Amino acid sequence: LEYSPDRRARMRLFLAFQYPMSIPGVSVANFLRRSLEAVREGNRPLEEGENPSGHMTKRKSVPVKEFRNLLQEKMRLLKVDNSFINRSINDGFSGGEKKRAEILQMALLQPEIALMDETDSGLDIDALKIVSESVNALTGPDLGILLITHYQRMLNYITPDFVHVMFNGRIIKSGGKELALELEERGYEWLRPTEDENGASASSVGEVSNHA
């Protein structure tokens, strides 16, 4: 937690926001290229006399041809239209487009751990299917995904390895995908700790699915 967000990114940690911010005037392609350069710079060995804090004075650029080929590869994998990368980041994007932009970034940066915060929030059925297919396309032995959701619907398309229910910062129930189905039928109330068990009245219970 003591590391800055950029340092965490260079350590191959990725966060997909519930509500991604828009950045007018900065194209998706330019943002992705600069992000890729920063991540690669953070993973290379330190050179003699270089600052070990991770703050680089000069960054090596990713060759345009290499970046274009890599970007096109990931866009084909995720079925993203070519016009998408020339638009400003999340500026005027629909909910589904914002989430796909996040997943395209994840595909390009190749993190080891990705935290997806309520990625299904604000998506209609069609967008949910498209986003879920994109997540499934990236899943593999080199990527662990922690997917936070309050609903079963996204898990209709993404099969979790583990399901954990958290309350007040601690896990109170764990299981497989069958637990998510049970929660859909019964809700969270049956898991809610009593005042005697918890020392305070319950306020909210959320579901966390870990898909690795």
**Calpha distance 190→183 (Å, rounded):** 9
Would you state the pLDDT for residue 59? 57
Lowest mean pLDDT among 1-10, 69-78, 109-118, 192-201: 192-201
Position 94 in a domain? yes
Would you state the pLDDT for residue 212? 44
Between residues 58 and 169, which one has the greater pLDDT? Answer: 169
Total domain count, the chain: 1
| Structural domain span for residue 149 | 5-158
Position 187 in a domain? no
Query: What would the pLDDT profile of 74-97 be if each residue is shown by its tens digit?
Result: 999 888 888 899 999 999 999 889
Decide if 100 contacts 80 (C-beta within 8 A). yes
**Calpha distance 8→21 (Å, rounded):** 19
Position 182 in a domain? no
Position 97 in a domain? yes
Decide if 36 contacts 109 (C-beta within 8 A). yes
The CATH number covering residue 66 comes to 3.40.50.300
Position 63 in a domain? yes
**Calpha distance 103→138 (Å, rounded):** 9
**Calpha distance 168→165 (Å, rounded):** 10
Position 167 in a domain? no
* Residue 24 pLDDT exceeds 90: yes
Q: What is the pTM of this model?
A: 0.77
